[in-house]
Structure 1
Amino acid sequence: MTTEGTHGAILQDTPPTGDAPLVELRGAGKSYGNIRALHGVDLTVHPGKVTCVLGDNGAGKSTLIKIVSGLHQHTEGDFYVDGEQVRFTSPREALDRGIATVYQDLATVPLMPVWRNFFLGSEMTKGPWPVRRLDIDRMKKTADEELRNMGIVLDDLEQPIGTLSGGQRQCVAIARAVYFGARVLILDEPTAALGVKQSGVVLKYIAAARDRGLGVIFITHNPHHAYMVGDHFNVLRLGTLELSAARSEVGLEELTNHMAGGAELAALKHELAQVRGVDVEELPDARDLTAPVATGTEEGTT
């Protein structure tokens, strides 16, 4: 079964057949003058999969988002969408190819109703030109149906979206992107400012988007959140790719160690050993933190 969005995009209720990459970066990089923010990054996004991009502040996550979303152009490497080499010059070009980004600020107007925010910038209208007017009833009905399709049930779509919890607002933004034809959904730190319960709500809808056949790029600095929904993990460090591994190839502890930087933690252990009253015996050794990823093992669970 398929439905049609206001831009004519056909939305699939079942995952597409095949596993050809929707988005692929090969050796991608970005330099700002003499500053190299990203270098030699490979990233592949498949339909019905969650690709997690992890890294500390300054690791290059934001630069990577800007390249894929069309905000910035890569200065090295290649960028492919559906197997076709591309070079976006604006976010609109990326959106036309089905790549939608949900940023932390969500691009919502807090005092506007939920249904109005759902169609913000793409409002439905009716009547002849030049006296066309907003088709409010149709927008309310469509917003309610699409939110329910994602499992989001709101009692009152007239309430200002600013009165919703952070997790609920994230979920509305995800449902909006899906409705308007997104095939690749980029989520920029959606759980960063949320509590445990609300983070769980957002993770639930990330899984729902994956189950609808979308390719999801989940940007986060929280390895525990990533491991709950992720199918493939990419860890960035100082603009380069430190780890790229499928779920079956890496466990949560190893992912956390790569995320934190094993060598730095080992050095910190050495320094803490000089401080009186600090017990470092239970901390992992440097060889445990910096060991390479083992391939072909089943450390993770699905």
Structure 2
Amino acid sequence: MTSTNATGTHGAVLEESVPTTDTALVELRDAGKSYGNIRALHGIDLKVYSGKVTCVLGDNGAGKSTLIKIVSGLHQHTEGEFLVQGETVRFSTPREALDKGIATVYQDLATVPLMPVWRNFFLGSELTKGPWPVRRLDIEKMKKTADEELRNMGIVLDDLEQPIGTLSGGQRQCVAIARAVHFGARVLILDEPTAALGVKQSGVVLKYIAAARDRGLGVIFITHNPHHAYMVGDHFSVLRLGTMELSAERSRITLEELTNHMAGGAELAALKHELSQVRGVDVEELPEEADLQVGAPQPN
């Protein structure tokens, strides 16, 4: 059962888990994006389900940023179809995507470092009270709501008045996730949330990604780290040079296979013979092409 309370301007507080359905919350069918003569993305098939973490991996220039921009409404696709809960859409602005329940947490987090935590939580969607035209900020309600929502995600801060810039990178990421959930997100796009974090803080962020999934959200986790992806992912898609090189459920791929795909294992396998002619290069540990097939039997 889903409980909803009116909040701000964009949606409802998700106090209970969102019920899962067989219909994908977000789906791309043979989607692509061209900038003039440059084809940045093409042939992309992607489904995001409620209560699942879909990991999109790829190196720099693979097309991850373009994919984010299409799903978040920043750019429009030029090929294929884009569906939200089975309905074909073409967003003109990120606000339209947000109205459909798609929220994006970028690497810069869109926060103001010197503002208090509670102000950042409601940044751009402040609650007000009193008659127009002398309405004023409802500071107490915003503080109380921010504290409750953070605690619902398991985040306990001693002082919501402290500047958000004094929090650790992991804590800031978690505040941004809790903010997106509060404002009605059903699909949460996370852009490299662990890229600039240490091991401990990365673990904190991964914990809250799992918490968002357990609350019924569909999560798109963009990362270049296969180990982080494998800890929380349910489905893995690897992009390379604007195309989908791999799409596999967790049960059909091992961490080693995923790492090989991310590391360009296919290219290394193809070059194994040439590398073997170079003195001082040990090619014994390089993967064979057969080893890179998803679900291929592993050596004993």
TM-score higher than 0.5 here? yes
Q: TM-score, normalised by structure 1?
A: 0.93
Deviations 1:247-300 (A, max 9, x none): 1111111111111222322356556545554433233334424xx2239x9x9x
Q: Distance in 1 between matches of 2:285 and 2:263?
A: 17
Q: Match for 1:94 among 69, 94, 97? A: 97
| Counterparts of 2:240 and 2:6, CA distance in 1 | 41
SS in 2 for 1:192: coil
- Which residue of structure 2 aligns with residue 252 of structure 1? 255
Contact preservation (8 Å) 1:3, 1:11 = yes
Aligned residue among 62, 67, 70 for 2:70: 67
| Most deviating of 112-121 and 9-18 | 9-18
CA distance in 2 between counterparts of 1:167 and 1:8 reads 25
User: Structure 1 residue 6 and structure 2 residue 8: aligned?
Assistant: yes
Q: Are 2:231 and 1:228 equivalent residues in the alignment?
A: yes
Q: How does 1:93-242 map to 2 (within 5 A)?
A: 93-242=96-245
Query: Which AA in structure 2 matches 1:208?
Result: A
CA distance in 2, matches of 1:271, 1:228: 35
Q: Is it true that 1:32 corresponds to 2:44 in the alignment? A: no
Partner residue in 2 for 1:294: 295
CA contact (8 A) 2:72 2:97 kept: yes
Question: Which SS does the other structure have where 2:76 is aligned?
Answer: coil
Matched to 1:11, the amino acid is: V
Equivalents in 1 of 2:120, 2:228: separation in Å?
27
- Structure 2: gaps (5+ residues): none
Does the 8 Å CA contact 2:64/2:222 hold for their aligned counterparts? yes
Q: Which amino acid aligns with 1:63?
A: T
Aligned length: 295
8 Å CA contact 1:70–1:94 kept in 2: the answer is yes
Separation in structure 2 between the aligned mates of residue 138 and residue 154 of structure 1, nearest angstrom: 17
Task: Kindly provide the amino acid, as one letter, of the partner of residue 9 in structure 2.
Answer: H
Query: What displacement does 1:6 show?
Result: 1.7
Contact conserved, 1:15 with 1:211, CA < 8 A, in 2? Answer: no
Question: Which residue number in structure 2 is paired with residue 57 of structure 1?
Answer: 60
Q: What amino acid sits opposite 1:4 in the alignment?
A: A
Q: Contact (CA 8 Å) 2:25, 2:86: kept in 1 or not? A: yes
State the identity %: 84
CA RMSD of aligned residues (A): 1.8
What CA distance in whole angstroms lies between the structure 2 residues aligned with 1:62 and 1:50? Answer: 18
The whole-number CA distance in structure 2 between the counterparts of 1:174 and 1:274 is 50
How far off its partner does 1:195 sit? 0.5
* CA displacement at 1:3 relative to structure 2: 3.3
**Taking structure 1 as reference, are residues 269 and 193 closer, same or farther at Cα in structure 2, changes over 3 Å only?**
farther
Q: Does structure 2 conserve the Cα–Cα contact (< 8 Å) formed by 1:79 and 1:85? A: yes
Unaligned runs of 5+ in 1: none
